Amino acid sequence: MSIDSPSRDQTHSPGDGPHDSPEKVDGRERLGVWLFIGADVVTVGALLFTYLYLRAVDTAGHWMNMWGYQGSLHTYQYWANAAANGTLKNPTLIHVGTVSAGLQWLVAAITVLSALLLWVGEKGLRANKNAKSFSATAVVAALLPVVGIIFTAVLLKDLPQIFVSINDSNTMSYTTYDSAMMALLSSTIFHLVILTFLGLGLSIRAARGVVSGDRWYQVRLVRMFWVWVALSSVVATLITTTITSTH
């Protein structure tokens, strides 16, 4: 390999500063975020594949139906005792129904709203260089996902469990629809927790002057991920609220 003399900008600059210019670091980190988003696209895609696959195969008609007894973890002991005493009646086919579409869309809307808020904050930071104002915007954007987490937790809590007793083995179970929803809702919570962390970080950093009108590139990185989370939230909600029944 033939090696030529270095140009001045490629020599090692003295002092405590980084080797590369902020522009280079920005470009590098942007690519890194895009790649992480790419991996996340596959992950969310695999979760949606799971949802659609289970719906398509609808094994033994169990997508939203299950033979058993309506219950929850709190009533497990009641049913278990009934099973043990032999007083359990014949199981009935329980139809679980879909989880609240309105609440799902509300979570998606909250995520989109927080993304828009961060975007507006970023534009303001870059235009008028007001870091204090951005700090306030970022903290609101960070708190919105907390609201989303609460609503998602409510959705998770409302997934109906069914008591099943098969060959003397007693357990609580979810239909495959509820199973797929549980995975997707858990993924939503995971993403919203990350958004909260990132939003709070930006807010604190802006308040401390680390993020400013001249140093805003990390805001853009976070916004890129935030927009992806909002987009994935909308796509997932669209699928899980429109493609539900097997017929």
Partner 1 sequence: MTTTLEHATTMAQPKGGGLARHQNFATAIVAGVVLAWVGWFLGRHLFWNGSDNWSDQVTILTLLGWMLGFWIGIGAFNAPFQWLLGRDNTRADNLYYAGDKQGRMRYWKFTTDHKVVGVQYIIVTMGLLAVGGILAMAIRTELITPGTHFVNQQVYNSFIAIHGMVMILALIVAVAGPWGNFVMPIMIGARDMAFPRLNALSLWTLVSAATVLVGTLAVGGLPVGWVVLGTIANQAGPGMDFFAVAIVIFTVSTTVASVNLITTVITMRTRGMTLDRLPIFVWGTIITAALALYAFPFFFVAEANQIFDRTASTSFYVAAGGGTSWLQANLFWLMGHPEVYVILIPAVAALFEISSTMARKPVFSYRTAVGAMVVLAGLSAVVWAHHMFTAGWAPSLSGPFMVTTELISIPTGIFFLVLVGTLWRGNVWMKLPTVWMFGFIFNFIVGGVTGIYLSDVPLDEQLHGTMFVTAHFHYIFVGSVLFGAIAALAYWFPKVSGRYLNEFLGRLSFWLVFSGVQLTFGAMFLSGLKGMPRRDASYSFAFEHTNFISTIGAYMIMSGMLVLLGAVITSWRSGEPSGPNPWRANTLEWQVPTPPPLENFDVLPVITEDPYHFDETTVNA
Residues in contact with partner 1 by the rule CB under 8 A: 1-7, 10-12, 14, 16-19, 24, 27-28, 31-32, 35-36, 38-40, 42-43, 45-47, 49-50, 53-54, 57-63, 66, 161, 164, 166, 171-176, 178-180, 182-183, 186, 197, 200-201, 204-205, 207-208, 210
Provide, rounded to whole angstroms, the least separation between the CB of residue 89 and partner 1. Answer: 19
The residue among 58 and 88 lying less far from partner 1, judged by its C-beta, is 58
- Rounded CA gap, 111 and 12, in Å? 44
What is the 8-class DSSP label of residue 72? Answer: -
The residue among 102 and 157 lying less far from partner 1, judged by its C-beta, is 157
Question: Coil, strand or helix: which one is 94?
Answer: strand
Provide, rounded to whole angstroms, the least separation between the CB of residue 49 and partner 1. Answer: 8
Cβ proximity of 101 and 241 under 8 Å: yes
For the beta sheet containing 161-166, the strands, ordered from the edge strand earlier in sequence to the opposite edge, are 92-95, 65-71, 161-166, 169-173
The residue among 112 and 219 lying less far from partner 1, judged by its C-beta, is 219
Phi, psi dihedral angles at 165 (to 5 degrees): -130, 105
Provide, rounded to whole angstroms, the least separation between the CB of residue 2 and partner 1. Answer: 4
Provide, rounded to whole angstroms, the least separation between the CB of residue 153 and partner 1. Answer: 14
Amino acid letter, 122: E
For residue 95, the surrounding DSSP H or E stretch is strand 92-95
The residue among 15 and 102 lying less far from partner 1, judged by its C-beta, is 15
Provide, rounded to whole angstroms, the least separation between the CB of residue 1 and partner 1. Answer: 4
Question: Coil, strand or helix: which one is 18?
Answer: coil
Sign of CA dihedral 70, 74, 76, 78: negative
The residue among 39 and 127 lying less far from partner 1, judged by its C-beta, is 39
Provide, rounded to whole angstroms, the least separation between the CB of residue 109 and partner 1. Answer: 26
The residue among 34 and 128 lying less far from partner 1, judged by its C-beta, is 34
Nearest 5°: CA angle at 106, between 102 and 109?
135
